[in-house]
Amino acid sequence: MESKNKIAIWLFTFMRIVVGWHFLFEGLSKLFNPGWSSTSYLMESQWLFSGFFHWLIGNNTTLQVVDFLNTWGLIIIGTFLFIGIFTRAAAVSGSFLLLLYYLANPPFVYSSMPTISHFYIINYNLIEAVVLIVIASFPKDYLWSVQRFIAYYHAKRKDQKFPVSDNHAILETTDNSRRELIKNLAVLPLFGAVFFGMAKKRGWISFEEKNLAANTDGVSSASLLLGKNYSISELKGQVPKGKIKDITLSRIMVGGNLISGFAHSRDLIYVSTWLKKYFTDEKVIETLWLCEACGINTAIFRCDENTIRILEKYWKRGGKVQWLAQTYPKGEDLTNVKLAVDNGAIGGFVMGNIADQIVYDKKIEHLIKPIEFIQSQGLIAGTAAHSIKVPMACVENGIKADFFMKTFHHKNYWSATPINPSDPELPKQGQDHNMSHDNIWCMSDKDTAEFFKTNTTPWIAYKVLAAGAIKPEDGFRHAFTSGADFACVGMFDFQVIENANIAYNMLNTDFKRERTW
């Protein structure tokens, strides 16, 4: 029986160490990730205390407190469980924390949500909480631990208060103490090795990475180097809003090219594949949650099965970002347009390349039909364009679009085309924006700004950063001061907060703008 009891002690000790390591790792990974926040997790809450959880992230101060307590709570609880100090208090605290996680997002509310150890009612949060309750129920001296060794050591010192005449007894006591120390601290070398490996893998102690981050200042194709990741606690305020008819939209909207893998990275043809690997369904949903937290309430995504699948997941979890759909009519065929209407879009528009070609081919009826159909369904409708001839053609033919999307950026960036857009030898300029040596999407920003000075149709500017070649501060200011009412911007998750702050600061200050909002 004694040997079975020792085996049980070792097994339960190992269980405590494993759970402690999990807590510690989760806490450290959050501590060393400056962009981490509990916002996304709490925002998804829909069960009993969802109002309270949503309130927590509605204020920067409470959010910072929650993130701090969450990170350091995990670290402290994990450390105590791992080495065995204040085990019962740590187990009770850890169980309480896990039950809070469970209450925020129980698996039966998200039965379609892919989670670890998902069995409708049971998930890993509940399992670990039960394990910790079991550990907390053990007598304090039952498991091997640092605390047990300390108590044992002090007990022996107390027993040795008076001289012991039997030298054998002293030697036996010393030997027992050594064995006790080995049993209780055997895990620490393993802990050090594992932590070192984790830190090295994550670059926490990589001098090479630190050196590169400190000294690199360059541009890789169309991607500008970001100096830091931003935390939601650094958000300055919600992105201001505007309206198209009765629909409220954020002044900057998240674009879908990156999510769909259209990188526009010049000759770096492998980047699109990388993007598709990065933007998993969960990463897209995480990005949308972050947009929502920043006040970016509209996403401009292409209309396809991939987009619809992801948005269905996001909306089912309580997401509020609305979808303005880029559609692909083919002459008289409006199948793709109907797909957007039937799957929750607030509006739709004809893709820019298609609209450019329609106007170039003088088949304006192919532009009229999709716009009128979308409007007949009670949604806002418009058209995108690379060529300024498209919105001009709409005005000339009496097409009452609810909005125009028009490319807009200057050409003061490193890879801009040297070709004169008014060159008579290039009759298709504006119809095919790829004719120049590099992708340039707005052949004449001055003509575009001039057109919208006298046209009151809401204008959503897109390609405002020329595929990342223009800094957001520059691109946003150029668009909004020139008359754009909204700006569509492709964003990685780690760019959302910075872009929101730029828009918030810019739109809440006075700047010269001839066109009224």
Residue 189, in any domain of the structure: no
Q: Count CB neighbours of 214 within 10 A.
A: 8
pLDDT value at position 135? 80
3-class SS shares of the chain: helix, strand, coil, % to 5:
50, 10, 40
- Helix, strand, or coil (residue 81): helix
Tell me: do 402 and 256 sit in the same domain: yes
Look at residues 310, 394, 343 and name the one whose alpha carbon lies nearest to residue 325: 343
Domain termination residue (choose one: 144, 161, 189): 144
SS3 47: coil
Could you tell me if residue 200 is inside a domain? no
SS (H, E, C) 186-239: CHHHHHHHHHHHHHHHHCCCCHHHHHHHHHCCCEECCEECCCCCCCHHHCCCCC
* pLDDT at res. 62: 82
Q: Which of 82, 109, 144 is the last residue of a domain?
A: 144
For residue range 111-146, what is the model confidence (pLDDT) as tens digits? 444 445 556 677 778 888 888 888 888 766 566 666
pLDDT tens for the chain, residues 1 to 517: 455 567 777 777 888 888 888 899 989 988 988 778 887 778 777 777 777 877 787 777 888 888 889 899 999 998 988 888 888 888 889 888 888 888 887 877 754 444 455 566 777 788 888 888 888 887 665 666 666 666 555 555 555 544 444 444 433 444 444 444 444 444 444 444 444 454 444 444 444 344 434 443 334 334 444 445 667 888 999 999 999 999 999 999 999 988 887 777 666 667 778 888 888 888 999 999 999 999 999 999 999 999 999 999 999 988 999 999 999 999 989 999 999 999 999 999 999 989 999 999 999 999 999 999 999 999 999 999 998 999 999 999 999 999 999 999 988 887 776 565 556 554 444 444 545 545 577 878 899 999 999 999 999 999 999 888 899 999 999 999 999 999 999 999 999 999 999 999 999 988 788 898 8
125 and 258 in a single domain? The answer is no
Residues 314 and 453 in one domain: yes
The model's pTM is 0.61
Is residue 295 domain-resident? yes
pLDDT of residue 211: 44
Per-residue confidence (pLDDT) for residue 421, from 0 to 100: 54
Q: Which helix (H) or strand (E) holds 453?
A: helix 445-453
- Asked whether the beta carbons of 123 and 176 are under 8 A apart, the reply is no
User: Per the domain annotation, does 420 fall within a domain?
Assistant: yes
Is residue 224 assigned to a domain? no
Main-chain phi, psi angles of 429, to 5 degrees: -55, 135
Q: Which two tokens stand for residue 127?
A: 């399992």
Q: How many residues does the chain have?
A: 517
Instruction: Give the domain range for residue 30.
Output: 2-144
> Residue 169: what pLDDT?
42
- CATH at residue 287: 3.20.20.100
Residue 187 lies in a domain: no
Task: Using the 3D structure, point to which of 90, 122, 144 is the last residue of a domain.
Answer: 144
CB 239 within 8 A of CB 284: no
The pLDDT score that the predictor gives to residue 473 is 94
pLDDT of residue 83: 82
Do residues 307 and 281 lie in contact, with contact meaning Cβ atoms separated by under 8 Å? no
Q: What is the pLDDT of residue 196?
A: 44
pLDDT of residue 431: 45
Q: What are phi and psi of 490, to 5 degrees?
A: -75, 130
Contact predicate 289/312, CB 8 Å: no
pLDDT reported for residue 330: 93
Give the pLDDT confidence of 191-243 residue by residue, as tens digits: 444 444 544 444 444 443 444 344 433 343 344 444 456 678 889 999 999 99
Residue 353: closest CA among 432, 439, 412, 419: 432
For residues 418 and 271, state if they share a domain. yes
The reported pLDDT for the residue numbered 174 is 40
Domain tally, the chain = 2
Tokens in use for 235? Answer: 């958000």
